[in-house]
Amino acid sequence: MDTKTICFLLFSFICLNEARVISISPQPGLLVTQGGEDPDPEVNQKREFVKQMMKDAWDDYVRYAWGENELKPISQTGQDGGIYGDSKIGATIIDSLDTLFIMGFYEEYIKGRNWVAENFDFKTVNTSVSVFETNIRILGGFLTAYALTRDDLYLDQANAVGQLLLPAFDTPSGFPYNRINPATGVGSGSSTSMADLGTLHLEFEYLSEITANPIYVDKVNKIRQNLWDLEKPNGLYPNTVNVQTGRFSDSHVSMGGGADSFYEYLLKSWIQTQDQQARQMYDEAMDAFVANDLVRVSKQSHLLYIGELSGARIDDVGSHLECFAGGMFALGSVTDPKSPADGNRDRDMEIGQNFTNTCHESYIRSDSHIGPEVFRFTDTAEAVAVNDNEKDWAWDAAQSIEKYSKAGPGRGYSGLRNVYSSAPVQDDVQQTFFLAETLKYLYLVFSTDDLIDLDKWVFNTECHPLPVKGKNPMF
């Protein structure tokens, strides 16, 4: 079979359009969009349902907010500003490219791809933007689009964005500023968080690989080495760091917002490149959470949660952002290279399972069946035990989102102001991560595991899968 024929069979739409808009060649990495249908027709129906949610979210964005960062689904307008610093950079398009591609929405994917080709120019953004958000959404979006399609457009754009982020590292410590103005190269934000500085590694590592330019990986290796060298109180990483002094600047410790994906990236970085130092730092950090009594069980309902440390006081609070940690502990457990006797395989799987159960409780105890941003453990908290499997949990969440977050039939989706209301008020913003993460993860829950093989791909914290070195032909 010649190239064209294989291409036609696999990706008829893209290849039919090849001459006009896109140069794409069939490679092993591309097979990712094939298959994934569950043999159970009921699961398949749910998969199709999630796919339709994506179509509605995307179409509404195209209709009312094309080229802007986010859709306001109720106002039917676009929204820029916020984390994108008033620049109009089509953030929803870039964050959605891989979801569209993986779900097989080729026509929509190509529309997005062409918008990037014709309009995206990061160096014209003359306003300060978050380095973290730019990295996980924009750079991460381009890197995955490149790994899936091998379209050089994304390689060039990823490299351009990477170059424009580099001045953020011009600090005495080598820890980056958390904001940068791409047009002027001026960084700002001397006080930064562990999440801000510790959630760059996967993207920078892969960017160095595909550009054959070590500058990116050198920058993040320096961050890693700095953190390795720093003295950590009781083995814990406080959440805030000063980029001038290179030291921790508070005593607050958590696994939630401000820290979360730093821990995730230690583990995943080891998965991505087999970097032993990263695995060791991850293992030691998890041991420190346990040793300092931050992995806790609530009095009434016996729900496992991860407390926060403020000075010497432990705060009994959990957050939606922190709920990623259930998956992280499980991933750390199943990949643990140590023997079961030496490592913490069983401990970490139990923490992962029980904490995910806690997060699920936070969903089903709300009137809308959507989890709140923050939940506390007080003496009055009571569990409502249920016994369904995870696919049912995900389906319940998907239906709740459809019921409460949708702006109208066939329309986009909005955030909710109060999930404890049975008639929650919508906040009129369709976040880019709803298309990048929520819908992609839901779709994958209802797809077979070979669709995105976790031996070959590792997800960045915005749900953009990146190739694993030595296991994936794209790394």
| H-state helical runs in 104-236 | 106-119, 131-133, 140-149, 152-165, 194-198, 201-211, 215-229
CB of 328 vs ligand NAG, minimal distance in Å: 16
Residue 217 touching ligand NAG (CB under 6 A): no
Q: Is 466 in the site for ligand NAG (CB under 6 A)?
A: no
Report the SS3 class of residue 438: helix
* Residue (27 or 184) nearer to ligand NAG, CB: 184
Of 119 and 184, the one with the shorter C-beta distance to ligand NAG is: 184
Asked whether position 402 contacts ligand NAG by CB under 6 A, the answer is no
- Output the smallest distance, CB 302 to ligand NAG, in A: 7
Closer residue to ligand NAG in complex, CB, 244/353: 353
- Options 153, 243, 304, 331; binder of ligand NAG; rule CB under 6 A: 304
461 in a known ligand binding site? yes
Of the candidate residues 59, 350, 402, 427, the single one contacting ligand NAG (CB under 6 A): 350
Alpha-carbon distance 196 to 265, whole Å? 11
Q: What radius of gyration, in Å, describes the C-alpha atoms of the chain?
A: 22
DSSP letters spanning 45-80 = HHHHHHHHHHHHHHHHHHHHHTTSSEEETTTTEEE-
Distance in Å, CB of 126 to ligand NAG, minimum: 4
Q: Which H or E element spans position 296? A: strand 295-297
Question: 């459809």: which residue's tokens?
Answer: 402
Query: 320 with 338: CB under 8 angstroms?
Result: no
CB of 455 to ligand NAG, least distance (A): 28
* Minimal distance, residue 81 CB to ligand NAG, in Å: 16
Question: Can you tell me which of 16, 21, 31, 297 binds ligand NAG, judged by CB under 6 A?
Answer: 297
Q: Which of 126, 225, 310, 448 binds ligand NAG (CB under 6 A)?
A: 126
Nearer to ligand NAG, 5 or 126 (CB): 126
* Rounded CA separation 462/379 (Å): 35
Closer residue to ligand NAG (CB): 170 or 350: 350
Taking Cα atoms as reference points, which of 117, 104, 146 lies closest to residue 12?
Answer: 104
Pick the binder of ligand NAG from 183, 288, 349, 454 (CB under 6 A): 183
Residues 124, 116: Cα–Cα separation, whole Å: 14
Instruction: Rule CB under 6 A: say whether 184 interacts with ligand NAG.
Output: yes
Give me the catalytic one of 107, 373, 382, 390. 373
How distant, in Å, are the alpha carbons of 205, 271, 335 from that of 332? 20, 10, 5
Query: Closer CB to ligand NAG, residue 232 or residue 296?
Result: 296
Does residue 354 bind ligand NAG (CB under 6 A)? Answer: yes
Closer residue to ligand NAG, CB minimum distance, 184 or 310: 184
Residue 377 · residue 316 · CB < 8 Å: yes
**Least CB distance to ligand NAG at residue 321 (A):** 21
Active site residue 48: no
Let me know: does 193 contact 242? Beta carbons within 8 Å. Answer: no
Contacts 24+ apart (CB under 8 A), 38-47: 38/446, 38/447, 38/448, 43/391, 43/446, 44/446, 46/391, 46/395, 46/398, 46/446, 47/443, 47/446, 47/447
Whole-number minimum distance, CB 375 to ligand NAG, in Å? 17
The token pair at 57 is: 């979210």
SS3 385: coil
The H or E element spanning position 304 is: strand 304-306
Count of residues touching ligand NAG (by CB under 6 A): 7
Q: Which residues are catalytic?
A: 373
Contacts to ligand NAG by CB under 6 A: 126, 183-184, 297, 304, 350, 354
Known binding residues for Ca(2+) are 461
Known binding residues are 461
